[in-house]
Amino acid sequence: MAPTPTPQSHAPQCGRRTPPRPAGPSTEAAMPASLDGELPTRRRNGMRGAGGWSQEPEVPLRAGFPANSPRRNCPEATPPGGSRGCWATGTGVAGGLCAARREHSLAPTSRPGNLASRPPPSLPPLLASQSRCPWHYAHLPRSHDALAPTCFKAKLHRRRGSATPGVAPTWTDRTSPAMGTYTYTYTSRPRPPPCQRRRYRDSLLQPAEEPIRYGNIMYDRRVIRGNTYALQMAPLSGQPDPLEIQRQHQAKRRALARKRAQEQLRPHTPEPVEGRQHVDVQTELYLEEIADRTIEVDMECQTDAFLDRPPTPLFIPAKTGKDVATQILEGELFDFDLEVKPMLEVLVGKTIEQSLLEVMEEEELANLQASQYAYEELRNVELAEVQRLEEQERRHQEEKERRKQQQWEVVHKHNETAQKIAAQVFAQRYLADLLPSVFDSLRDGGYFYDPVQRDIEIGFLPWLMNEVDKTMEYSMVGRAVLDMLIREVVDKRLMMYEHKEDERLSFRPGDRLSGPGAVRDPLVGPEIQGQSTSQSQGPPPDRESLPPLDGRYLEKLSSQERRLLEEEEDEQREMRKSSGKEEPSQ
C-alpha cells in the first residue's frame, strides 16, 4: 500500500522530512497480526490492512505535510519508516510507556530486525487506546528521558526499518548515532480526547502501570493554571518532599495492586489447555473489527470563503392530487359578444364620459379666454376713449391756461401803462417848477456865472489887489522907512533935545507918557491888526511879516501910522465884504 497523502492531518513537523521508508509495508504486513488487539485503527482514510494498522495514514502524513504544520518543540527523531499511529494525541506517549512493552511485544512478532537491532528509540508508533495525550509525559524507553518529547508523534524522517509502526517521534542521532542524522519531526493529527470507555477489556497481560486517565486538559492537574511568573512551585519532577513523593508512590502502588487484585479476582476465561491457544474469533456473518478505539472519522467541512450563497433551489412541491382530463369543444367556453360586453361598456362609457368632461373643460377654458379677450378689447377701447378724453381735457386745460395767462398779461400791461401814465403826469406836474427853482438855486449858487466876470473876479481882481497891496506895501514900506527915518531923526532930535532938555533939566515929562502911550497903542493896534489880518483871507501875507517887526517898528509908529492902519483896515474890511459877497455868491 503506497502511502497516500492525507490532507487532513495536521501533524506538527520539525525538521526535515524524508520520504517514507519503503520498508513500511513489509512491517505493516507483519504487524497486523499482533497488534490487532491493541492498536486501534484510527484511520482517517480507509486505507487499512485487515484489522491491522496501516501505516499509510501516518506515512502520507509525513509526506503530505507542508510547512504549515505546526512545529512542536520536539526533539527531532526519526520515527521508523512507515510510522503511524496516533499523531495527535499522546498515543505515542502511552506508546512510550507501552513502548517498551510493545516493543517487547512487537519485537518478537513483527518487528523486523531493524527495530530489534537498535534500541527502540522510537516509541511504538502503534498507539494503544490508552495513550492519547501527546503532551503526556512518558517514560521513554531508555535514554530518551532527556529527550522526552512532549509530543510523541513525530515522523520518521529517516529511513529506518519500517518496524516502527505508528507515530513516533523521530529521534536525533543521539539516540542512534549509528543511523546517521535524522531530524525529529513531530506531526500529530488533531484527535479527540480519548474516551474513557474502553471497548474491550484490558488484557491482563498488559495491565496499565498506572491508571492513566485522559480527559479534559482543563481538569488536568498537571496543567499549570494561573500565572506562572509568580508561582514558586516545586518543580514537577522533583523537589517536593521526598516523603510526599514516596507516600504518593506508595499510594499509587497500593492502588495499582488493589486493582490488580480485583482484576485477578474477576473470573476470566480459563487458560488455554496445553497445546492450544485461545484466539479471539468472530463468528458472525460479517467480521467486525474489534478495537477499543472507537471508529472515528474526522470529517471536515469548510465553506469557500468567497463563494456566494448559492440560490435556493426551486421548491417544486411534489405533485399531489388527481389528474382529471376534460375536453372543451369549440364555442363552449367563449362567447365573444358576451365577453366583450363589459369591456365595451367600460371602453365606450369611459370614453364618452372622459371626452365629455374634457370637452366641457376645454369649453369652459375657451369661454374664459374668450371672455377675457372680449373684456380686454372692451377695456382697450374704453382706455382709448379715456385717453382721448384725457387728452382733450388736457388740451382744454392748456388752452384755458394760456388764455388766462394772456389775459392776465394784458391786464397787467394795462395797469402798468396806466400807472406809467399817471406817474408821468404826476411827475410832470411835480417837476413843473422844478426847473425854474433849480435854475434859481443854481444861479443863486453861482453856478451860472459870467465867465468873463468870473475870470475878472478870480484872476484879475486878486491880482489887482495884490498889486494894490504891493503898492500899498511899497508905500507903507516907504512910509515905514520914512517913519523910521523920521523917528530916527526925531529920536536924534529928541535925544538932542533931551540932551538939551537934560541940560535944561527936564521941562516936559509929558512926552514920555505920550511916548509910552504911543508905544502902547501901537501895541494894541497891531494886535488888532494882527487879528484882522488873521481873519481876512485875502490880505497879502506881507502883513504877517510885519508883526515880528512890531517890537521895534511899532514902537516907533506914531498915530499917523495908526490912522493909516485903520484906513487900511477899513479898506480891507470892504474888500473882505466884497470878496465875502463874492464868495457866497460863487
Partner 1 sequence: MGVLCDFAAHIRQWEIDQKPGRGLRRAMPLPDSMFCAQQIHIPPELPDILKQFTKAAIRTQPADVLQWSAGYFSALARGDPLPVKDRIEMPVATQKTDTGLTQGLLKVLHKQCGHKQYVDLADLEQKWKNLCLPVEKFRALLQLDPCGKNMEWMKFLALGCSMLGGSLNSAMKNLCEILTTDPEGGPARIPFETFSYVYRYLSGLDSEIPAADTESYLASLKENISTRKSGLIALSDFFVLKRKF
Tell me the closest approach of the beta carbon of residue 355 to partner 1, in angstroms. 4
Name which of 248 and 371 has its Cβ closer to partner 1: 371
Tell me the closest approach of the beta carbon of residue 324 to partner 1, in angstroms. 18
CA distances 23 to 33, 105, 111, 367, Å, are: 17, 20, 11, 114
Name which of 199 and 350 has its Cβ closer to partner 1: 350
C-alpha to C-alpha distance for 417 and 561, rounded to whole angstroms: 79
Tell me the closest approach of the beta carbon of residue 328 to partner 1, in angstroms. 8
Tell me the closest approach of the beta carbon of residue 321 to partner 1, in angstroms. 22
Tell me the closest approach of the beta carbon of residue 417 to partner 1, in angstroms. 49
Tell me the closest approach of the beta carbon of residue 319 to partner 1, in angstroms. 24
Tell me the closest approach of the beta carbon of residue 303 to partner 1, in angstroms. 47
Name which of 355 and 578 has its Cβ closer to partner 1: 355
Tell me the closest approach of the beta carbon of residue 351 to partner 1, in angstroms. 4
Name which of 145 and 339 has its Cβ closer to partner 1: 339
C-alpha to C-alpha distance for 24 and 20, rounded to whole angstroms: 8
C-alpha to C-alpha distance for 25 and 59, rounded to whole angstroms: 10
CB 42 within 8 A of CB 84: no
Q: How many helices (H) and strands (E) does the chain have?
A: 14, 2
C-alpha to C-alpha distance for 165 and 123, rounded to whole angstroms: 9
Name which of 373 and 463 has its Cβ closer to partner 1: 373
Name which of 50 and 348 has its Cβ closer to partner 1: 348
Tell me the closest approach of the beta carbon of residue 349 to partner 1, in angstroms. 9
CA distances 482 to 290, 479, 485, Å, are: 214, 5, 5
DSSP secondary structure, 361-407, as one string: HHHHHHHHHHHHHHHHHHHHHHHHHHHHHHHHHHHHHHHHHHHHHHH
Name which of 318 and 328 has its Cβ closer to partner 1: 328
C-alpha to C-alpha distance for 222 and 236, rounded to whole angstroms: 8
Q: By the criterion CB under 8 A, which residues form the site for partner 1?
A: 328, 330-331, 333-334, 336-337, 339-345, 347-348, 350-352, 354-356, 358-359, 363, 366, 369-377, 380-381
Residues 6+ apart with CB under 8 A from 157: 15, 16, 17, 18, 62, 76, 78, 79, 170, 182, 183, 184, 185
C-alpha to C-alpha distance for 463 and 133, rounded to whole angstroms: 181
CB 154 within 8 A of CB 124: no
C-alpha to C-alpha distance for 421 and 272, rounded to whole angstroms: 190
Name which of 366 and 549 has its Cβ closer to partner 1: 366
Name which of 234 and 356 has its Cβ closer to partner 1: 356
Tell me the closest approach of the beta carbon of residue 316 to partner 1, in angstroms. 26
Residue with cell 401814465: 421
CB 183 within 8 A of CB 170: yes
C-alpha to C-alpha distance for 130 and 293, rounded to whole angstroms: 9
Tell me the closest approach of the beta carbon of residue 398 to partner 1, in angstroms. 23
Name which of 145 and 335 has its Cβ closer to partner 1: 335
C-alpha to C-alpha distance for 261 and 416, rounded to whole angstroms: 173
Of 195, 170, 190, 167, residue with least CA distance to 181: 170
Name which of 373 and 474 has its Cβ closer to partner 1: 373
